[in-house]
Each structure stands twice: as C-alpha cells, then as structure tokens.
Amino acid sequence: MRMPCSQKEVRDTFTDETYANFLVQTEAALARAESKVEAIPPEVGDAIIVVLGKVELDFDRLSRETQIVGYPVLPLVMQLVENTREELSKYIHWGASTQDIKTDASMLQTERGLQLVKERICEIEQRYLLVRFGGAADTLASLGRDRTGIRVRAQLAKELGLEDPMITWHVARDNIAEILNFLAVVDGTLGKIALDIILVSSNEPDEVAAPFGGASLPMPQKRDPISSEIILATASCPEIAHSWDWMLWLSTLIVRLGRGI
C-alpha cells in the first residue's frame, strides 16, 4: 500500500518484508529466552539464534503461501525449519502459538514507529528546552564584562537539566511555538484515532469494539468507547482554547465524515 503522506521511515517500518523480519526476530528472541531459563538446551538456543540471524527469506514464496494459509507465521516457520539442522529445527517456535509470534512482531513494529516520535521529541528537547538567564537587558552585563555570566548560564542549565542556548533569547519565542505546535499535532493525531474507533464501533460498521469497562443496567451487552470519547474531548479543546489553531490547520486532523475513515 502506498502512503504518500507518511515519512519514508514509517513506510519502511510497516512493509511486509519488515514485518516478516520482525517475525524472525521474535522467533530468535523466543529461542534466546527459552535457552536462558533452560526450557530448551542452552547450546540449542545459541545455535538457533545464529542460524536465524543469517537466514534469507524467500519473500515471494512467503507471500504466496500466506495467501493460501491466511497468516504468515506457518509459512515463515517452514522456511526457518528448512534452513536449520534437524536436531535444532524441532525447537523453533517451541511452545508458542501463531498469535504469540504475530502479536510480538506487531509490537516491535509499533515500537519502531513510536521511536520516530521519540526522536522528534528528543530533537525538540535539545533545540528548544533552553535555559533563560540574561539579566535585565538579557546581556549578562550585571555579572561583569568577562565570561562569568556565560559560565553561570551554562551551569544553571546543567542544574535545571535544560540546554544552554548559543545566545540569550529575550523576545524570541519560536522555541515555545514549536513545542506547542508539536504537542498540538500529537493532540490532533490522538483525536483522529479516537474518532476512528468511535465511528467504526458504531452499529452500522460494527468493525471493532471497545474493551469492557462497565455495562449499562438495562443493556448489559452495551460497550461504549468511553476512553475514545475522553481522548476526543481532550483533543477538541485546542479548537476552542487557541484561536490560532485554524491558522495551522491542526483541527483538520480530526475529520468526522467523508474521508474520516
């Protein structure tokens, strides 16, 4: 599937090939974990890890067989077994279910996707969480004409766990604006996800269901997407509280109809 509006790193994270590699990584981690607790012989686990680290999957074959079976784990395990000595191969996938491996691989995908967000947050921390110290006119003149003021500012930044700016920032507020902009984008993204869940869990689509969180007395079967409603309400607050949101098109992240889902 082509996702023209996403980052290349995100697209690469959610390709079929990447998912298959995460499946292999999960099988290797399972062998490592089982060998460490001696659920399988330790030397067997080490040998399996080496083999799986070198295996080259036939992705065309995996794709064809996945369409037949309906899920990729069985065809993938078959390839792994074929590339492993018989005395080792019987321990591949030891004690695991298909859903175990699929879910763990999906979690690895999700973790990598979230890592991209973490990297953006780290960039903001380094560039924009800056200490403010400059004196009355922001020139550090009150501490003398030498570099005492600069050293104090640098030490203050360390004490507070903030970054020391290259120059003092008396009236510059672009750092604060970018932080708010980033948080507003995150806010809108969460609102988008929450609204999607609400829409597809309604009676007509009925594609997902919210986790059970207490039922209505007259309708015990009812499952309201309470968490999604709270997230959506929170995500909608900037539309009211900040008049500049419309200028940044942040509110367009939450689409109620049409292209909403």
- Tell me the C-alpha distance between 94 and 105, whole Å: 16
Residues 164 and 153 sit within 8 Å (Cβ to Cβ) = yes
Number of domains forming the structure of the chain: 3
- Domain extent, residue 42, equals 8-111
CA angle 198, 204, 208 (to 5 degrees): 45
Q: Is there a single domain that holds both residue 211 and residue 234?
A: yes
Max distance between CA atoms of the chain, in angstroms, equals: 78
Question: Which residue intervals of 57-147 are DSSP H helices?
Answer: 59-69, 73-82, 86-89, 98-128
Q: Is there a single domain that holds both residue 101 and residue 194?
A: no
Q: Is there a single domain that holds both residue 139 and residue 184?
A: no
Q: Is there a single domain that holds both residue 99 and residue 157?
A: no
163: β partners: 130
Give per-10-residue mean pLDDT for the chain (261 aa).
Answer: 56 87 90 88 88 91 93 93 89 89 87 80 77 79 84 87 80 71 81 86 73 57 74 70 48 54 53
Global pTM exceeds 0.85: no
Residue 116 inside a domain? The answer is no
For position 223, what pLDDT does the model report? 67
* Cβ neighbours for 243, distance < 8 A, ≥ 6 positions apart: none
Residue 1 inside a domain? The answer is no
Last residue of a domain, which of 140, 171, 202?
171
For position 222, what pLDDT does the model report? 62
- Tell me the C-alpha distance between 232 and 128, whole Å: 28
Last residue of a domain, which of 76, 111, 146?
111
The closest of 93, 159, 169, 89 to 132, measured between CA atoms, is 169
For position 5, what pLDDT does the model report? 43
Read off the CATH number of the domain in which 64 is found. Answer: 1.10.275.10
φ/ψ of residue 163, rounded to 5 = -90, 150
